[in-house]
Amino acid sequence: MSHTVNGIPASPGIVIGPTWTFSPPRADVEAYTVANPGVEQLRVRAAVAAAVEQLAALEERARATIGDEEAEIFAAHQMLIEDDDLLADIHNLIETRHVNAEAAVHEIIEATAESMLELDDDYFRARSADMRDIGRRVIYALMGVTADVGRLPPEPSIIIADDLTPSDTVQFDPANVLGLATVRGGPTSHTAILARSLGIPAVVSAPVELGSLANDTPAILDGLSGRVTFFPTTDEVEEAQAQRRDFLERLAGDHATRLEPALTRDGVHVEVVANIGNAEDARRAIDNGAEGVGLFRTEFLYLDRDTLPGENEQIAAYRAVAEIIGDRPLVVRTLDIGGDKAVPYLGFAAEANPFLGWRGIRLIDHHADVLLGQFRALLQASVGADLRIMVPMVASVEEAVQARGILNEAQVALHAEGRPQAERVQFGVMIEVPAAALMADKLAEVVDFFSIGTNDLTQYTLAVDRTNERVAALATPFHPAVLRLIAQTIEKAHAAGKWVGLCGEFAADPAAVPVLLGLELDEFSMAPSAIPTVKAAIRRLDRAECRAIAQDVLNLPTAAAVREYLAAHS
């Protein structure tokens, strides 16, 4: 008899196949007294070095096969595992209690993770899982257990797990992964992000009874609806096969027309561009039909190092992307460090609420030189390009004016030095904070464009940590409050003659396209892989009809009502 569980869709696609339940290798830790603490401390140092080497390899693999943003997960884990205070606590425990290395690592890691869970902050509670992940890796190294899953499962399967760490997910052989389903996690969890990047259908927060699920159980995983069906009937399999064929045919058709412009049925051209993190992403974007770049993340130059990148290093990295993009628009986000991407050499300290703390443009008061150096490098790297620079985490007109003043300073200095620089330059700000959306009319007076970051705008508007699986389902940009902020931003920008883009994951959701078109969004920016599908969705729509749809959903009371309305009108 078939049995269906309902989770949250995390990566689109429909797959049919056997299940394979993943559980990490067991490494039971026993505590015992040692005669020579020095030997145990040496073992810890060797295990940490081995773990760092493994994480560096995972970072390199992720950067080469998935992308820079995903690779940053492993760079952050390396920083956690080499924390001086953490290592000092482990060595001190070995010295004072003459306990073995495995027990000392386990006790300190568990105490640290538990203390994070007790904090009144969702971000640090979520990071407790990262702490346990790196602790597990060090203990594996101490006990000679292979930490990574390698080529498992042995045949193409739907992987079912309580949860998956980033290192678990990136180590699977994609050829043997039909789909992923986890009991925990949200649509912005590491599992979901990596699955979308790899093009693997995924469902998260699915209430699967792992203890009673045998390997090779026949199943259907629907990453479009969030359903997982075990022991499906013949009729259910046939229906899923038909839906899968339709889905794949649509994908093939979308891909075939990916290089054509996104013209609505009534002849309105909509700009569809890409979110990228490096030159390889830029090539992939152009191949997928991107008409430019709507978000070039620059953090990769600043992470996993001890000093700031020099001007020449920055110029080379930015120029590599600019040359690929050519005359197409290139929107670059300046350094967005803070929150979950801190770097020690800029003076970051632990904060109770890092996502509400010292991050993004807020670094400007203490590190204006960093922004000035980045502006200088971008201007020199983009000679002949259509350069558009934006700053993140803006909450006030003063911040925008101050940042624009630094850009002007860089332009004047380069001119005085006789250095070639970009002549076509626009300056914009990210709309991620509700205050910025509410002040859009005033901000529009001092900038050339807005780019709406719906991931953070949703998080801040609804007071929901999008990395916390317990509340992740609440973090939806379909909430009428978020939609109203988007509508107000676009309306105020257009009244001032300024254009608006959107670079959150919302732009890649086909269900959102009619609403955003109706609100008259100028630019949709997304992961390269999503571009063909969104361009095809735009071509099927009439903008005048979408205006009516947008006005209707703005008057609905709940996110569920918005989704139901859009499903009925699709």
Each residue's pLDDT tens digit, 141-188: 999 877 655 557 888 999 999 888 777 777 787 788 999 999 887 776
Q: Is 258 annotated as a binding residue?
A: no
Q: How far apart are the first and last CA of the chain?
A: 33
Q: Is 63 annotated as a binding residue?
A: no
Q: Please give the Cα distance from 164 to 191 (Å, whole number).
A: 6
Helix ranges (H only) for 144-233 are 166-171, 190-198
Residue 122 pLDDT:
43
Quote the DSSP letter at residue 99.
B
The answer to whether 168 is annotated as binding is no
CB 331 within 8 A of CB 322: no
Average pLDDT rounded to a whole number, residues 42-64: 86
Angstrom distances, CA of residue 207 to CA of 38, 299, 502? 47, 36, 33
Looking only at the bridges linking them, the beta strands covering 157-161 and 14-21 are parallel
Q: What residues pair up with 163 in beta bridges, in sequence order?
A: none
pTM, full prediction: 0.72
Q: Say whether pLDDT at 125 is over 60.
A: no
The reported pLDDT for the residue numbered 241 is: 97
CATH-assigned architecture of domain 253-568: Alpha-Beta Barrel (3.20)
Q: Which of 291, 292, 270, 260 is nearest to 542 (CA)?
A: 270
| Amino acid in position 139 | I
Report which secondary-structure segment, H or E, holds 510: none
The answer to whether 475 touches 459, Cβ cutoff 8 Å, is: yes
CA angle 44, 49, 55 (to 5 degrees): 125
375 within 8 A of 413, measured Cβ to Cβ: no
Domains of the chain, residue spans: 3-22+149-238, 37-143, 253-568
What average pLDDT does this structure show over 245-258? 93
CB environment 391-416: b (16+ within 10 A), e (fewer): bbbbbebebbebbbebbeebbeebee
The sign one gets for the Cα dihedral 115, 120, 125, 127 is negative
Amino acid at 555: N
Task: Indicate the pairing of strand 227-230 with strand 269-276.
Answer: unpaired
Q: 70 falls in which pLDDT band (50, 70, 90)?
A: low
> What is the set of active-site residues?
190, 503
pLDDT at 484 over 60: yes
Q: What is the pLDDT of residue 370?
A: 86
Report yes or no: 521 and 483 within 8 Å, Cβ to Cβ: no
Judge contact between 447 and 425, C-beta under 8 A: no
Fold of 3-22+149-238: Glucose Oxidase; domain 1 (3.50.30)
Q: Binding site annotation covers 432? A: yes
Residue 278 annotated as binding site: no
d(CA 406, CA 257): 42
**3-state SS assignment for residue 224:** coil
Confidence tier at 449 by pLDDT (50, 70, 90): very high
- Is 333 known to sit in a ligand binding site? yes
The correct CATH number of 37-143 out of 1.10.357.10, 3.40.50.880, 1.10.274.10, 3.40.50.150 is 1.10.274.10
Predicted confidence (pLDDT) at residue 120 exceeds the cutoff of 50: no
Amino acid at 435: A
